[in-house]
Amino acid sequence: MAGRAAALAILTFLLVPLGAVFWRAGGGAMPDVHDWAAVRFTLWQAALSAVASTLLAVPVARAVARRRFPGRGALIALMGAPFILPVIVAVIGLIAVYGRGGLVNDLLGLACLPPPGDGRPRCLSVSIYGLHGVVLAHVFFNLPLAVRLILQGWLAIPAERFRLAAHLGAGPGDVQRLLEWPMLRATLPGVVLIVFAICLSSFAVALTLGGGPRATTVELAIYQAFTYDFDLARAAMLSLVQLLLVTGAGLLALRLGRTEGFGAGLDRRIDMLPPGGRALWLGDAAWMTVAALFLLLPLGAVAVRGLSGLAEMPPSVWGATGNSLAIALSATLLTVSVALALALARRGWVDLAGMAPLAASPLVLGTGLFLLINPVARPVDWALVVTLAVNVAMALPFVLRIVLPAAQEVERSYGRLADSLGMRGMARLRWLILPRMRRPLGFAAGLTAALSMGDLGVIALFSDPDKATLPLTVFRLMGAYRTEAAAGAALLLLVLSFGLFLIFDLGGRGAATR
């Protein structure tokens, strides 16, 4: 019942603003050559980003799953980092490492070849702008997400199975064939499509690292149509294109995302036995080191630049921080409750409704809401509420993807026992669902809180100096060339986003007992 009501509310929230945009735009225009270029670029960069992120994630996830070492927990927490890293903060860090005058180009500059005849040294350099920059940023954001999703797949194989395999004398190759490959075959298509769908909607990365006729995504084109020309007809047409692209990917993800259970274990604490052999050990260590450096260097760059900027922050930062915290915590409670209601509804279309926001562009949604509110109230008065609602809708598909398989697994393993004992409603929630789902729920709550905290999207359309969120404040400070203050506020944003994530995720990982 609650699940169906929530599903209807979501569909209404998504469709009514879209209708407002179409109504205001008067039907839409036809795509021109630039729009088709944007479609091609969107698909190509998303495909490259998704495949690269997923393939690189497999060896990293396997290494983390089968090795035990000090700092393993920190590495897992780090894998949650870039996905929840506010985009504006991440871009500052990536430019600091890979941009002009950044760390990588400085290193490449050391290896200049001696000057040939014309007297100019020949140096290698990389540019972070254009297709490869966009893909690099997307891999930075999504590799860790892929690692965590695949790692969950690994951890979902009950430890008893690995013990059984070890007991039967299975080598690493046998374990791969018997346990790991079936898990990967069930997990990977879903992971690729999730990353693909995320990258299809790429806006902030394309805005900062792409742009121009050769590196514009559809989402960026929508934003430009709104902010530069206020051309609603073109924006409406582009949003229809975006809707088709992302709905297609979403439906595909839903189809391929169905995974088989591995049966339940008894919650015994058995560590997965690491395979022997020095070469395998070195390989695992190398994968984890490279992944850690790839993630840590940009974060470190933000921390270093931000520390010196903390003293420069204007007082407006604190009000914005309060707004952002209030939005983030409300969004967390709402999103997790809605996702749980949808997951427990056990109906296909309800599940689909929860994935529907993947097809929505936050910018189109925000503009539609703007058009709806405008006749009856001042839209800026509703800026924070609209931001909250859009944050909930945008986080929901990811949260549902985490919560739904876990809920299905609980039902598959313990549903009959609970039914036979008459555990229904609150009793079932309290004594079966919540304790069995503590870990995925904690992870999902952490993701939502951090995503909402760092979101810079719809709030930008409702600009009002008094109603800013922290990411918008960082953006404004950058725009005003107050680089030091922007870096300081970015560091504050980074600490708050990560702090919220860690509190929820660690809370979920504590043993749920007795």
Partner 1 sequence: MLQLDDLRLRQGDFRLTANWTLAEGDRLALIGPSGAGKSTLLAAIAGFLRPDSGALRWNGADLTAEPPARRPVAMLFQDQNLFPHLSILRNVGLGIRPDLRLNAAQRAQALAALERVGLGGMAERLPGSLSGGQQSRAALARVLVQDRPLLLLDEPFSALGPALRAEMLDLVTALLDETGGTLIMVSHAPEDARRIGGLLSLVDEGHAAAPVPGGEAFANPSPGLRRYLG
Q: Does 1 bind partner 1 (CB under 8 A)?
A: no
Q: Does 436 bind partner 1 (CB under 8 A)?
A: yes
Where on the phi/psi map is residue 334: left (φ > 0), alpha (ψ -120 to 50), or beta? Answer: alpha
Binding mask 192-211 for partner 1 (x = CB under 8 A): --------------------
Q: Does 431 bind partner 1 (CB under 8 A)?
A: yes
Q: Does 34 bind partner 1 (CB under 8 A)?
A: no
Rounded to the nearest whole angstrom, what is the least distance from the CB of residue 409 to partner 1 in the complex? 12
Cα–Cα distance between 282 and 79 in angstroms, integer?
A: 20
Cα–Cα distance between 46 and 63 in angstroms, integer?
A: 26
Compute, in degrees rounded to 10, the torsion defined by CA atoms 191, 194, 198, 201: 140
Residue position matching structure tokens 């609150």: 426
Q: Does 266 bind partner 1 (CB under 8 A)?
A: yes
Rounded to the nearest whole angstrom, what is the least distance from the CB of residue 417 to partner 1 in the complex? 6
Beta bridge partners of 113: 122
Cα–Cα distance between 394 and 40 in angstroms, integer?
A: 24
Q: Does 426 bind partner 1 (CB under 8 A)?
A: yes
| Residues 107, 111, 114, 116, CA torsion sign | negative
Rounded to the nearest whole angstrom, what is the least distance from the CB of residue 150 to partner 1 in the complex? 24
Tokens of 498: 């990560």
Rounded to the nearest whole angstrom, what is the least distance from the CB of residue 129 to partner 1 in the complex? 51
- For residues 396-425, which are near partner 1 according to CB under 8 A? 413-414, 416-417, 419-424
Q: Does 432 bind partner 1 (CB under 8 A)?
A: yes
Cβ atoms < 10 Å from Cβ of 134: 27
Binding mask 474-513 for partner 1 (x = CB under 8 A): --------------------------------------xx
Q: Coil, helix or strand for 124?
A: coil
Q: Coil, helix or strand for 113?
A: strand
Query: 215: which DSSP letter?
Result: S
Number of amino acids touching partner 1 (CB under 8 A):
25
Rounded to the nearest whole angstrom, what is the least distance from the CB of residue 76 to partner 1 in the complex? 22
Whether 505 and 442 have beta carbons less than 8 Å apart is answered as yes
Q: Does 100 bind partner 1 (CB under 8 A)?
A: no
Q: Could you say which of 170, 264, 273, 296 contacts partner 1 (CB under 8 A)? A: 264
DSSP 256-276: HT-------------PPPPP-
- Name the residue nearer to partner 1 (CB basis): 135 or 423: 423
- Name the residue nearer to partner 1 (CB basis): 316 or 413: 413
Among 25-33, 266-274, 449-457, 491-499, which window interacts with partner 1 (CB under 8 A)? 266-274
- Name the residue nearer to partner 1 (CB basis): 376 or 426: 426
Give 357's Cβ-side CA count (13 Å radius): 25
Rounded to the nearest whole angstrom, what is the least distance from the CB of residue 264 to partner 1 in the complex? 6
Q: Could you say which of 435, 464, 503, 509 contacts partner 1 (CB under 8 A)? A: 435
Closest CA to 241 of 214, 215, 221: 221
Rounded to the nearest whole angstrom, what is the least distance from the CB of residue 123 to partner 1 in the complex? 60
Beta bridge partners of 122: 113
Rounded to the nearest whole angstrom, what is the least distance from the CB of residue 401 to partner 1 in the complex? 23
Q: Does 161 bind partner 1 (CB under 8 A)?
A: no
Cα–Cα distance between 407 and 240 in angstroms, integer?
A: 33
Beta bridge partners of 390: none
Among 33-41, 140-148, 265-273, 440-448, which window interacts with partner 1 (CB under 8 A)? 265-273
User: Greatest CA span in the chain, whole angstroms?
Assistant: 87
Cα–Cα distance between 335 and 218 in angstroms, integer?
A: 27
Among 223-231, 274-282, 428-436, 480-488, which window interacts with partner 1 (CB under 8 A)? 428-436
Rounded to the nearest whole angstrom, what is the least distance from the CB of residue 513 to partner 1 in the complex? 6
Cβ atoms < 10 Å from Cβ of 55: 13
Q: Does 439 bind partner 1 (CB under 8 A)?
A: no
Among 51-59, 146-154, 262-270, 355-363, which window interacts with partner 1 (CB under 8 A)? 262-270
Rounded to the nearest whole angstrom, what is the least distance from the CB of residue 267 to partner 1 in the complex? 4
- Name the residue nearer to partner 1 (CB basis): 320 or 423: 423
Binding mask 268-287 for partner 1 (x = CB under 8 A): x-------------------
End-to-end CA distance of the chain: 30
- Name the residue nearer to partner 1 (CB basis): 329 or 434: 434
Q: Coil, helix or strand for 112?
A: coil
Tell me, letter by letter, the H, E, C secondary structure of 372-400. Answer: HHCCCCCHHHHHHHHHHHHHHHHHHHHHH
Catalog residues that contact partner 1 under the rule CB under 8 A: 264, 266-268, 413-414, 416-417, 419-424, 426-428, 430-432, 435-436, 512-514
